[in-house]
Amino acid sequence: MTQTDTLMGKAGGSPSIAQSDYWWYRARTRILETVMKPYVGAPRRLLDVGSADGPSVTWLQGTAEQHVSLDVDPRGLTDGGVCGSATGLPFADGSFDVVSAFDVIEHCDREDIALAEIERVLAPGGRFLMSVPAYNWAWTSHDVHNHHHRRYTRRRAVEVIEAAGLSPLRATYGFTGTFPMFAAQRLVTRFKERGQTDALPEGGVAPLPTVSPATERLLLGATRIDERLLGRLDLPFGSSVLVAALKPH
């Protein structure tokens, strides 16, 4: 068990397990599918790292002959899922044609080890699909409570992918439609917190911001902008970074 595993265990795992219908997870499902599905193809074996966040990857179901789920939190795994760490994948070299890790790498103290493990288990010609949170200036207690180690720019995400020996196929921001609201909320929160963060209780789950039904409709409507645009072009800013990459032959 790694340091990251221990911290995530203390945090009580992903809040998506209890709130899979939260607006952000529903929107992310559609955004991920729009950006990533063209790179999935018809793989023989697919590995989804971080599967306890499963509500956002339902669109991956049925795309592979064998779909393997892995997470440090066993509560989010269905029958046949593997409890394990991204920094020590329990699979042989070249085992998978596609590996996905959506909002996972930021939880790893050593991103280089996690990405090296992903590159190792990918077969030559395999694809890696990744999403991570954007911009260190947006760091708040939300990141602390979720045991993030960093946030990313698109450039930095591409750099760490290339350092792992993978070739980026596409890199874009996502959640652009909701970005003005996200930026305002994060900047206000940073001012209020001024470096002080309340600790979560042992075993607690990081709270999701409460939104009214009207605000939820507004946010979901704004993410439709992403869906329409991401099918045709990369977006220049947003609260998430999405990367699809190839392991060269």
pLDDT per 10-residue tile (average), the chain, 249 residues? 38 68 93 97 95 74 92 78 94 98 96 98 98 97 92 98 98 98 94 72 69 96 97 97 97
pLDDT in the model for residue 53: 61
The secondary element (H helix, E strand) that includes residue 187 is: helix 179-193
Per-residue pLDDT tens digits for 76-119:
777 678 999 999 999 999 999 999 999 999 999 999 999 999 99
Per-residue pLDDT tens digits for 50-63:
876 656 788 998 89
Amino acid at 106: E
Q: What is the mean pLDDT of the chain?
A: 89
Cα radius of gyration rounded to whole Å, the chain: 17
Question: How many angstroms separate the Cα of 214 from the Cα of each of 173, 221, 247?
Answer: 25, 11, 44
pLDDT in the model for residue 73: 83
- On the CB side of 165, CA atoms within 13 Å amount to 18
pLDDT in the model for residue 54: 56
pLDDT in the model for residue 195: 61
pLDDT in the model for residue 1: 31
- The Cα–Cα gap between 133 and 179 comes to 12
Which residues is 174 bridged to in the sheet?
240
pLDDT in the model for residue 140: 93
The burial of 193, by beta-carbon neighbours within 10 Å (0-12 exposed, 13-18 middle, 19 or more buried), is given as middle
Q: Which structural domains are found in the chain, ordered by start?
A: 20-247 (3.40.50.150)
pLDDT in the model for residue 214: 97
219-234 burial: b if 16+ Cβ within 10 Å, else e: bbebbeebbeebeeee
3-state secondary structure of 38: helix
